[in-house]
A and B are shown apart, each in its own frame.
Chain A
Amino acid sequence: MWKWKRKDKQQPESVQQTKKQSGTLSEFIQAMKQSEDFVHYELSGNTRCTISYLKTMCDSKILNRSVLTTLNEESLHTLHDMKERIPVENVRVTSKINLIEEKVMFGYIMIQMHETDEEVVLIPSISLESRNVSIPEVEFSVVGPKEAFVETLNTNINLIRKRLPLPQLTIKEMNIGKVSKTRVCVIYINGIVNQSNVETVEQRLKGIEIDHLTDSSFITQIIADNSNSPFPQLLDTERPDRVVSNLVEGKVAILVEGSPHALTCPTTVVEFFGASDDYFLPWHLATAFRLIRLFAVIFSVLSTPLYVAVLTYHHEMIPAALMATIVSSRSDIPFPPILEVIVLELAIELLREAGARLPTKIGQTIGIVGGIVIGTAAVDAGLTSNVLLIIVALSALASFTTPVYQIGNTIRLIRFPFIVGAQLWGLVGVSMCMVFFIGHLIKLQSIGRPFFEPLYPLRVKDLKDAFIRLPFNKQTERPVLMRTEDTQRMNPSRVNAKRDIDE
């Protein structure tokens, strides 16, 4: 019934929008002249024409060496002559106002024969300030490649393409953001990737309604299947090698202009605990380190809640010998365990937050001052027990072992519900909290694929590279999760060909 009304309402809007964009060229120039960095003047050398560009976005080398010299030395009378004579790649003649607007804003040089002409020639001379490719700082690895993404999209794509010289490596580009018109790329390998994953990603990206897109983490939050979840549902990484190995597994990567992080999806919760280092070490060592990391995460989440639970309700569980130690350390403390834990946990969070905001060198000092001085002082003053100090410090340390920064934040915060649960019903409360999170993880999806994957749905094949990492010759198939079109990584019979003694 309301359909016709809605249509009516929509139409004027779209008309307005196109109107706003496609004014006449002179209107555009008038609007641009209000900015000081817009240069617009008539050239009166051999060629008479009007030249306009944004001087802050243009590369002056191209302008001076190629464009101005050609125009001054030769006498050119049409735009097509210019297109042929000017020694710059990809010069084009157009009268589409939308295109002109877009290109000039990116740093193209626009040349008209007369100031009133609608047709122009556009010369690309973009100068982009960018950082050099540097070492990964968030996901540092001791061995292996040490390149990290930067803020320029083209450089980032270059970092990926040079590792995968394949015609099947497909890059789809779109602009997102009403105001910022940020370039966003979807990258995948045709023939490996499941097309439905690509379609889901593209569809969700196209559905984004936002004015400006600062970083890839915006996309993580917007296109996540459950945006109220504390768990990140897209893996973000600053390592091109990690993106490449994910692409080869059949995942889809998303790159955003201006963001030094790539997103890959679909992902699983286990993937957040795998580091690139795991693949650079022999498999048994890598497995051991992975298990240590997993244990560290569990310890980090559960240690203080268990302390609260046991000391508040279940003293009987502590063996007599250990009881003496704990009693002596806690005998002077005026607070119940819960208060003690919350104060100390918040202090650690404070230090961490301060350390993250301060410049690196001061940050380290704060860490040492906070950790050692305040900790010792608190114990000496009788505010916290030294057993708890050890536990809290260790659990803070353990939460840093996660290779992906985003999940580290999650782990930092999910221990607080556990502490509350422990205070309410001791160990039963802790396990209720755990059930809630496990249920939540089972419910979660990453672009429509189960997030808790190798565990539930239980897929034994994918467990080969989850908690443990089997050697490469055992991993001849791509993970089931992505439902890839080509499931074989390599020929298993050739990889595992048996050789006899002395052959």
Chain B
Amino acid sequence: MNKLNNSKGLNIPENYLVTPTYVFFLIHSMQVGVGILGFEKYLVEKAGFDAWISVLIAGGILHIILWMIYRLLQNGGGDIVEIHKNIFGKYLGGFLSLLFCAYFTLLAFTVVITFIEVIKVWVFPGLHVWVFAFVLLFLVYYLVSGGFRVITGVCLISVIIGLPILLLKYFPVEAGHTMNIFPVISHSVTDILGATKQSILSFLGLEFLLIYYPFIKNPQKSKKWAHYGVFFTTMVYLISVLVTFVYYSEEQLKQVVWGTISAWKIVEFPFIERFEFVGIAMWLYVVLPNICLGLWGATRIPKRVFNVKQKYVVILFCIAIYFPAVLIDGRPMIDAVNNLSGQLGMYVLMYIPVLLVLKTISDKVRKRT
């Protein structure tokens, strides 16, 4: 066992590590992304106004998965790449790690195109995507090239800036009907579980822990912060679901793609109206950690597997994201990509328990020999 812990390439110098508290921000900001702007519609399609129960169930499931991830990493001697190598050997393990890399890239890509879509729909219908995507990706490159600490900083700032946006939920509540939520549990268990699956998709992002775990100082202490993070995300989602349910009627919500943004429209101050413009501009802060951490995680895997310089991989991946992002257009295609990344995310989450079982077995076998 001790041999595994001294694996090469994972002795990260202390000045690149982050304190355990930041795991809260890393997990929370990675989970909240563009999904929260319009996920209510998909839940309502499955379970109607009982979907808030699904959000709670999904949160519970994620706590369990988080626990499994920590079990995996605790004596795994580093990150997912190391674990894969130990269980499956160099080649198969490397291949599986590269699948993770593809998945992380896809997540970053999904966020990029969805955010561009939001801007096109809500702010600039005639947006020159090729310029905007270039500047956005350049910004991402600038941040990612600063390393993990900078990305953590971006996560922290995003949470701090994102919090005041939550206060805006007051306006829809004031205008809504609280009775909408009742009667409670009018749908079957299968419906609710179907919505649970949908809502887990919006919770994706904690699997990045598998790759940035070695960057946490005293990782044992970070456990509680990670759980707080997931809990906080669950609460944020629960609040937004409830607020949306209070504000819209069930049939209307099925027609609204971006429930949260539409609700921002009614926010009114004496000096400012139509708050969705400010909201979307601020949403950049919420979205950036997703893209940055996604790209960082995706590029770190090739570095670990092939020992190449991450700097170049980041540039390569930025270019790889740039062209499809410019070419993709239209809601159906974006929906398809979103569904694909959701499906893959689901598989990744299901893969974690399998990996845990395999790892426990292989550890036992190794101990015996």
Contact = CB atoms under 8 A, between A and B. Distances in A.
Interface of A: 313-314, 316-319, 322, 424-428, 430-432, 435-436, 438-439, 442-443, 452, 455-458
A313 B272 contact: no
Given A322-B271, A456-B152, 15 more contacts: A313-B124, A316-B273, A317-B277, A319-B270, A319-B272, A425-B119, A426-B277, A428-B124, A431-B282, A432-B135, A432-B139, A435-B139, A435-B285, A439-B142, A439-B146
Q: Chain B CB within 10 Å — which of A314, A435, A455, A458 has the most?
A: A435
Given A319-B270, A457-B19, A439 B124 contact: no
Interface string B249-279: 0000000000000000000101111110110
A308 to B, nearest CB: 14
A316 B124 CA distance: 13
Contact of B142 (A427, A430, A436, A455): A436
Contacts of B241: none
Contacts of B157: 438, 442, 455-456
Contacts of B152: 456
A72 B18 CA distance: 75
Contacts of A318: 272-273
B123 interface: yes
B211 to A, nearest CB: 21
B140 to A, nearest CB: 10
A228 to B, nearest CB: 13
A215 B154 CA distance: 36
B139 A431 contact: no
A428 B135 CA distance: 12
B150 A435 contact: no
**Is chain B's interface secondary structure helix, strand, loop, or mixed overall?**
helix
B123 A317 contact: no
Contacts of B153: 439, 442, 452, 456-457
A455 B132 CA distance: 29
Nearest to B146: A443
A309 to B, nearest CB: 9
Interface in B286-339: 288
Contact of B124 (A426, A455, A456): A426
A424 B131 CA distance: 10
Contacts of B21: 458
A431 B277 contact: no
Contact of B139 (A426, A436, A452): A436
B226 interface: no
Nearest to A458: B156
A428 B123 contact: yes
**Is chain A's interface secondary structure helix, strand, loop, or mixed overall?**
helix
Contacts of A317: 272-275, 277-278
> Would you list the 10 A-B pairs with minimal beta carbon distance, nearest first?
A427-B281, A442-B153, A456-B153, A431-B281, A316-B274, A443-B146, A439-B143, A431-B284, A314-B277, A317-B274
Contacts of A438: 154, 157
Given A313-B124, A319-B271, A428 B119 contact: yes
6 contacts: A316-B273, A425-B119, A427-B281, A436-B142, A439-B150, A457-B18
Q: Chain A CB within 10 Å — which of B21, B268, B272 has the most?
A: B272
Given A322-B271, A442-B153, A428 B143 contact: no
A439 B156 CA distance: 11
B128 to A, nearest CB: 9
Contacts of B349: none
A432 to B, nearest CB: 6
A452 B157 CA distance: 11
B53 interface: no
Given A319-B271, A436-B142, A427 B278 contact: yes
A432 B124 contact: no
Contacts, number: 89
Contacts of A452: 153
Contacts of A458: 21, 156
Contacts of A443: 146, 150
B68 interface: no
Interface in B142-178: 142-143, 146, 149-150, 152-154, 156-157
A455 B22 CA distance: 12
B25 to A, nearest CB: 9
Given A316-B273, A456-B157, A435 B284 contact: yes
A436 B131 CA distance: 16
B185 interface: no
Contacts of A319: 268, 270-273
Nearest to A318: B273
B136 interface: yes
A482 to B, nearest CB: 16
B281 A428 contact: yes
A313 B285 contact: no
Nearest to A438: B157
B47 to A, nearest CB: 34
A414 to B, nearest CB: 16
Q: Chain B CB within 10 Å — which of A318, A428, A456 has the most?
A: A428
B315 to A, nearest CB: 17
Interface in B27-72: none
A426 B284 CA distance: 13
B277 A427 contact: yes
B280 interface: yes
Contacts of A426: 123-124, 277, 281
A425 B278 contact: no
Interface string B62-102: 00000000000000000000000000000000000000000
A428 B118 CA distance: 11
Contacts of A432: 135-136, 139, 284
Contact of A442 (B119, B150, B285): B150
B123 A313 contact: yes
A290 to B, nearest CB: 19
Interface string B104-144: 00000000000000010001100100011001100100110
Contact of B274 (A314, A425, A435, A456): A314
Contacts of A435: 139, 143, 154, 284-285, 288
B113 to A, nearest CB: 15
